[in-house]
Amino acid sequence: MVSGVSVLTKVVLVTGGAAGIGLGVARRMTVEGWRVVMADRQPPFEEIAGARFVEADVSEEAAVATLVDGIRTTEGRLDAFVSNAGFMNRKPIRDLTLAEWNAVLATNLTSTFLLAKAAEALLCETRGTIITIASTRAHQSEPDTESYAASKGGLVALTHALAVSLGPAIRVNCISPGWINTKDEPLRPEDHGQHPAGRVGRVEDIASLVSWLIGTDSGFVTGAEFVVDGGMTRKMIYT
């Protein structure tokens, strides 16, 4: 036992775990018996039994090192991490400062590099997995989203690079969500109806895929991107 956690209990780190997709993943994995470490810059919207919250800014190298060292000391192992932390700064490029650009890339993209570097040894010990959460915006865009699109496109590429470099000991895969209703906002029939799947996505849709990808049934899957968008990126739209 390490700090009350069985050394046989699998451990997953979820960044951006305070809300939205990250919180949904944390809920799912605790139900499945995993020990979850939730990292975020703000406290989680709810407490989850079987989860430990760590306040951390994963865009900072020192904070990532402290986070991973804490897992090594407290949980004693790491079987997976889900790199989900991210935010968007929607602003015309003429008004977007270099500092604002760098802030988005640091949180959305560089954090995955920092985490993979810091956690490689722990993940090798468990033949673990890394899941990056990108976006369909890696493939298509709305106006004024350059920094976000670049960060998510970078995650897709970083995923397959890590898969090749860290395999076979560590598998690395990417999930690119489309419209996921992370805030339980009211939706119109046309919001659902525009999706070939017939509805807007839910956080559970992403959490269930994370569960499969970090489990043993997906052992032959690495370097892949899974677009989870109800079919929207396959739909021709003319205006």
DSSP string, 104-118: HHIIIIIHHHHHHHH
Which of the following is catalytic: 148, 170, 201, 209?
148
In a domain, 5, yes or no: no
Phi, psi at residue 230, to the nearest 5°?
65, 20
Q: What is the mean pLDDT of the chain?
A: 95
Q: Which pLDDT value is given to residue 79? A: 98
Question: What is the number of domains present in the chain?
Answer: 1
Domain around 169: 11-234
C-alpha separations of 77 from 21, 183, 230 in Å: 24, 32, 35
In a domain, 4, yes or no: no
Q: What is the mean pLDDT of residues 176-180?
A: 95
* 238 a catalytic residue: no
Q: Which pLDDT value is given to residue 1? A: 46
Q: What is the mean pLDDT of residues 126-145?
A: 96
pLDDT digits (tens, 9 = 90+) for 102-121: 999 999 999 999 999 999 99
Cα–Cα distance, 76 to 10 (Å, whole number): 10
In a domain, 2, yes or no: no
In a domain, 47, yes or no: yes
In a domain, 239, yes or no: no
In a domain, 1, yes or no: no
In a domain, 111, yes or no: yes
CATH (domain of 106): 3.40.50.720
Number of helices (H), then strands (E), belonging to the chain: the values are 7, 7
Full-model pTM: 0.94
Cα–Cα distance, 93 to 84 (Å, whole number): 25
In a domain, 153, yes or no: yes
C-alpha separations of 156 from 15, 26, 85, 134, 149 in Å: 17, 22, 15, 7, 11
